Structure 1
């Protein structure tokens, strides 16, 4: 029979067992969802050398993921407007939980762990009220939903934490949708995207809106620099002959900077950015344009540095001193120092995003 002293000793021993890190999952540099050649879907962990570290089956098409800051756990989100997300053990491949959005809601394909890994924050659409929500899910409570915050806009697509972990940035795309109408956009003439900064309690700390001429430039994806600069990527929801800027740069308390690459290049970007990433040293910002078949790199003042042609490129994440790129025909490439290096090709179609593990 277990004694009280024995029980306490075993509890202490369990509390001191070191938790597995990402090295136990093969030390991947980034995660990305893909559709395999046989039509199945999976989440892959990929090393800096381009080699697969693991493959975990997904129930349907994925979009983006959230990686735990310390442990080999990941959350794969369904493609918008999906209603499921799966919490995965990237060592064993086990599905630890399947999250279901509440009735009248759907996930927007993105989420983020709190810096301590205790909570998962999910970008959600309340299509009954058209108000954006940020769902809160507790790991300690078995991944139970424990609350929600207002996103302070319509159509929150992405949510990320600033350095320090006390402020979150939310990309409110401004587009009203309803699953009953598929991916139809319901409010384009009056859409008003914004970038909102929230406290952990959901208080609106600051909000940035675009100039009136660009009110149809939907703010979609975020990347956070080491100094707290937020890069926000956009997609244009108006006449295709217009060539708006598709990348914004912002620091709290300052005016946003819209990055210009020149009218000719903006037309070649075709009004759509698929992903955005900031280099580890915080000096470069890259955006992928799958419709335009290119990756465009800027410095943090918004000045154009480089354009890299690549058909159907979309996934983008910081890696080394540069970026890793994925495309829809299985290509993997490393962009660094102005040089593009192939890392191999796979018999799969990489999905929209690559998610880097935190440095």
Structure 2
């Protein structure tokens, strides 16, 4: 019975993907031969004005090269270390992940969640590209699970699960070859409706990939700061962005940094400055000694100096979404920052800013494709 339920759900997802491909003229435009000659540099999920969803492979300026239709709204994308494969994850509480070829735009098998599980929007490949770690959870309890999948003949086969680390995991990253860092939101939900705001227990958790055991766990003083999105500095510290689940008038710190073995330290800004981010951080990326964090709900992004942990600037950007760092190629090292309204901002660490408009409604995250 369970297998039948999964198969029926998978057929529904495939039909949705086919409908998106057939009905969206923008998807067809993305696959034109002139665009395909550009070099793939960025990947993100996106939305279209007529209500369809896709993963988009773009050049370094954010202009689309390929699009991969998705059955429902996507969120994060995992990219294999060699830059060949991508996996787009459904927005939480999601029920699919889509494997695709970044170089050609070809879709492979879609993986549906089991009837009693959600995907939580993120995953990451191991350094050898053969294992994918995903954030998942039980529907009835929101108990967190790290799904462990092996890549076999362009299919993702679940081979293991890690659990017992908390409720409502969101982003997962590899901090080294044997350790995962997980942003555990702590929120038990029915769909997207929170049920335990007074008792939630968010944490930044480090997990062994060999044993699945928790090797370190740290939290914040305010238990209503749900830890969501992660990034890593060049010296191995982990940054986390929060969603605040408390009172609307509270201006609480939404970005924190952690050195292994120490406390989780909030970055600095005035309460009224934190309120500009409207209680939500979507994406984080580090360049040199500075970090950029975006807020689509606040229509802005912030820049912090990691030598002082002090906010240096808040810049307005409508529906500020993904941010990623480009450190190679012809351009100077810079952040690429995307907008759900299609704008792309390029910013150097010294503060030189350029921007241009694309026809893509970018979603929350961007990923950089490794250069070959």
| TM-score, with length taken from structure 2 | 0.84
- Given that residues 306 and 338 in structure 1 are in contact (C-alpha distance below 8 angstroms), is that contact kept between their aligned partners in structure 2? no
Quote the offset at 1:358 in angstroms.
Answer: 4.4
Does 2:203 match 1:194? yes
- Given that residues 61 and 344 in structure 2 are in contact (C-alpha distance below 8 angstroms), is that contact kept between their aligned partners in structure 1? no
Aligned length: 327
Pick aligned residue for 1:227 from 228, 231, 235: 235
Does 2:248 match 1:236? no
Deviation readout 1:64-85 (Å, 9 max, x if unpaired): 1000111410000111111100
- Given that residues 38 and 65 in structure 2 are in contact (C-alpha distance below 8 angstroms), is that contact kept between their aligned partners in structure 1? yes
- The more displaced of 298-307 and 286-295 is 298-307
Pick aligned residue for 1:109 from 108, 114, 121: 121
Inter-partner Cα distance in structure 1 for 2:37 and 2:223 = 43
Does 2:87 match 1:75? yes
Match of 2:27 in 1: none
Match of 1:346 in 2: 358
Please tell me the root mean square deviation across aligned C-alpha atoms, in Å. 1.8
Does 2:185 match 1:176? no
Match of 1:150 in 2: 163
- Given that residues 275 and 353 in structure 1 are in contact (C-alpha distance below 8 angstroms), is that contact kept between their aligned partners in structure 2? yes
Q: Which SS does the other structure have where 2:272 is aligned?
A: helix
Q: Which SS does the other structure have where 1:266 is aligned?
A: helix
Deviation readout 1:81-133 (Å, 9 max, x if unpaired): 11100100122322222112223110001000111111111101112343100
Does 2:308 match 1:305? no
- The more displaced of 49-58 and 226-235 is 49-58
Structure 2 unmatched ranges of 5 or more: 1-35, 328-332
Quote the offset at 1:322 in angstroms.
Answer: 2.6
Match of 1:295 in 2: 301
Inter-partner Cα distance in structure 1 for 2:164 and 2:56 = 30
Inter-partner Cα distance in structure 1 for 2:145 and 2:122 = 12
Inter-partner Cα distance in structure 2 for 1:114 and 1:127 = 27
Residues 1:235 and 1:87: Cα distance change in structure 2 (over 3 Å): same
Inter-partner Cα distance in structure 2 for 1:89 and 1:204 = 33
- Given that residues 134 and 151 in structure 1 are in contact (C-alpha distance below 8 angstroms), is that contact kept between their aligned partners in structure 2? no
- Given that residues 257 and 302 in structure 1 are in contact (C-alpha distance below 8 angstroms), is that contact kept between their aligned partners in structure 2? no
Quote the offset at 1:333 in angstroms.
Answer: 1.2
Pick aligned residue for 1:210 from 215, 220, 223: 220
Inter-partner Cα distance in structure 2 for 1:95 and 1:26 = 20
Inter-partner Cα distance in structure 2 for 1:36 and 1:247 = 30
- The more displaced of 37-46 and 310-319 is 37-46
Q: Which SS does the other structure have where 1:265 is aligned?
A: helix
- The more displaced of 104-113 and 285-294 is 285-294
Quote the offset at 1:185 in angstroms.
Answer: 0.4
Deviation readout 1:188-246 (Å, 9 max, x if unpaired): 010110000011121111000111xx110000000122221101000110101111100
Larger Rg: 1
- Given that residues 151 and 172 in structure 1 are in contact (C-alpha distance below 8 angstroms), is that contact kept between their aligned partners in structure 2? no
Structure 1 unmatched ranges of 5 or more: 1-23
- Given that residues 151 and 170 in structure 1 are in contact (C-alpha distance below 8 angstroms), is that contact kept between their aligned partners in structure 2? no
